[in-house]
Amino acid sequence: MRYLCLAICIIASIPSHSQNDCPYDLNFDGFTTYGEFLFFAADYGSPGNTDYDFNDNGIRDIEDALIFSRYLGIQCPQAEVQEASGNIIGLYIEPVGTLEAALADMDLIPAGSITYRLYAEVSNPDVAVTGVWGTEEHPLIVEAPDGLFLSSASASASPFAATLPTAMLAFFPTVGLSSWWTLETEPGEYTSSFTSLPSSDPEFMEDLSMGSIALDVTMGDGWFTWEEPTQMGLPTASNLKLIGQFTTLGQSGICGQLNLEIRTLTEGEDPQFEQAYGLTFSTPGDDAPCATESPCPEGTDLDADGAVTVSDLLMVLGQLGFTTNGPADIDGDGTVTVGDVLALLGAFGTEC
């Protein structure tokens, strides 16, 4: 009995991680550092692996890595990092240059190619972009029908701004038009440390040159910061945060969607985070490549309120039997008949 009591006293004196006061200290050294990444990345993507499933969705995925990264540099006990809202407005893409004549060195970029910059638009400039990713439920998609230019000088590394060989620009100007991703910084500038996780498709960025990317695996794919917030420094003052450059090899445009995480880094205050899913972007024009047809059959949303509802049905019934070329004549035969009623009922309840 004496030894049993002694054992109980010893166990009671050991800090208990089951109390959940430090769930992100994976090697039990009292705080969370980059070293924990080795524990997290081990067996990442293995089926049925729920170790370090911080969001309790049944799988260790990239969103667990995002949660994990918020606690870098924080000592035990670790309070939950607070969530902010209202800082993410959306995505903004703009053309920054069009080639008037073909440009050639080690690569060839045809005339008419357009270079775009993609930004996260935020309402508070005191934020930093800390993650871009896609999952099966909310994929990261990029579509450029004409293809995207990826410099052969950077293809052997990775298409991120941090790895672009800017020293080669004086000799190979096409390098400056290469397509790349980033987390706020230009090529050649200091960038915070970020990483991608080994998942089912580790070579996904090679698809960039093909003009079609789809990160839609179960455990997710993307890139995120792996640096303590105190080392990141304060973000740039702009409300537009750079996350990518894309040069299309033609004029058919580019579009896509992605998920985004930002951190507020106001000096003297604790960091907060905010996430947004399914943010979309598209270059302007009638031939926007991601434009989708309305799920409502043409002419059924008579009042243009975004859905086929009772109000649309009443408009058709109110003119039943009339000769008209108005919106109630859905099939365009010049008369409002039972056929128009049936066409509307076939789409009834659809959101356009």
Residue with tokens 């997710």: 220
Q: Residues 272, 84: contact at Cβ < 8 Å?
A: yes
| Cβ density class 58-88: b for 16+ within 10 Å, e for less | ebbbbbbbbbbbbbbebebebeebeebeebb
The residue type at 241: K
User: Does 287 map to a domain?
Assistant: no
102 and 26 inside one domain: no
Whole-number pLDDT of residue 170: 87
* CA distance to 29, 45, 63, 68, 211, per residue, from 39 (Å): 13, 13, 16, 11, 35
Tell me the two tokens of residue 71: 């606690």
Query: Can you tell me the distance from the alpha carbon of 276 to that of 278, in angstroms, rounded to the nearest whole number?
Result: 7
pLDDT over 90 at 122, yes or no = yes
Q: Which of 229, 247, 282 is the last residue of a domain?
A: 282
Reply yes or no on whether the pLDDT at 117 is more than 90.
Answer: yes
User: Measuring CA to CA, how many Å separate 242 from each of 117, 209, 235?
Assistant: 7, 20, 11
Please identify, among 222, 256, 282, the residue that sits at the C-terminal boundary of a domain. Answer: 282
Give the whole-angstrom CA distance, residue 213 versus residue 163. Answer: 20
Closest CA to 109 of 72, 159, 150: 150
| Of the residues 259, 282, 305, the one at which a domain ends | 282
State whether residue 92 is helix, strand or coil. strand
Beta-sheet pairing, 194-196 with 272-282: unpaired
Per-residue model confidence as pLDDT tens digits over 193-212: 666 665 544 455 556 667 88
d(CA 52, CA 60): 6
Interacting residues of 16 by C-beta distance below 8 A, sequence separation 6+: none
| 152 and 278, same domain (yes or no) | yes
Instruction: Determine the structural domain holding residue 306 and report its residue range.
Output: 294-352
Q: Is residue 126 part of a domain?
A: yes
Residue 79 resides in a domain: no
Residues 127 and 212 in one domain: yes
19 vs 318, higher pLDDT: 318
Cα(first)–Cα(last) distance of the chain, in Å?
Answer: 74
My answer on whether 250 and 322 are in the same domain is no
Tell me the pLDDT band of 234, cut-offs 50, 70 and 90.
low
Q: Please report which confidence band the pLDDT of residue 13 belongs to, taking 50, 70 and 90 as the band edges.
A: very low
Pick from 44, 67, 88: which is nearest to 239 by CA? Answer: 88
Distance in angstroms (rounded) separating the CA atoms of residues 317 and 345: 11
99 & 236 share domain: yes
Q: Decide if 80 is inside a domain.
A: no
Asked whether residue 166 falls in the same domain as residue 59, the answer is no
Is residue 61 located within the same domain as residue 131? no
* Among 8, 12, 62, residue whose Cα is nearest residue 198: 62
pLDDT given at position 233: 52
Q: What is the pLDDT of residue 30?
A: 85
3-state secondary structure of 91: strand
pTM: predicted TM-score of the whole model, two decimal places: 0.74
Residue 293 or residue 251, greater confidence? 251
Instruction: Name the residue with higher pLDDT: 206 or 186.
Output: 186
Q: Is the pLDDT of residue 139 over 80?
A: yes
Is residue 59 predicted with pLDDT exceeding 70? Answer: yes
User: Does any domain span residue 77?
Assistant: no
Q: Is the pLDDT of residue 223 over 60?
A: yes
* Residues 97 and 161 occupy one common structural domain: yes
What is the pLDDT, as a whole number, of residue 258?
94
Q: Let me know whether 306 and 258 are in one domain.
A: no
What percentage of the chain has pLDDT greater than the value 90? 22
**Based on the structure, what is the number of domains in the chain?**
3
Scanning the structure block, which residue is given the tokens 């973000």? 235
Q: Report if residue 312 sits inside a domain.
A: yes
Asked if residue 259 belongs to a domain, the reply is: yes
Q: 159 and 272: one domain?
A: yes
Q: Is 343 helix (H, G, I), strand (E, B) or coil?
A: helix
Are 188 and 55 contained in the same domain?
Answer: no
Where would I find the H helices in the chain? Answer: 2-13, 36-41, 62-69, 152-155, 229-232, 310-317, 338-346
Identify which of 134, 105, 289, 274 has the alpha carbon closest to the alpha carbon of residue 200: 134
Q: What is the CATH number of the domain that holds 326?
A: 1.10.1330.10
User: Are both 268 and 121 inside the same structural domain?
Assistant: yes
- Contact between 352 and 296 under an 8 Å Cβ cutoff? The reply is yes
220 occurs within a structural domain? yes
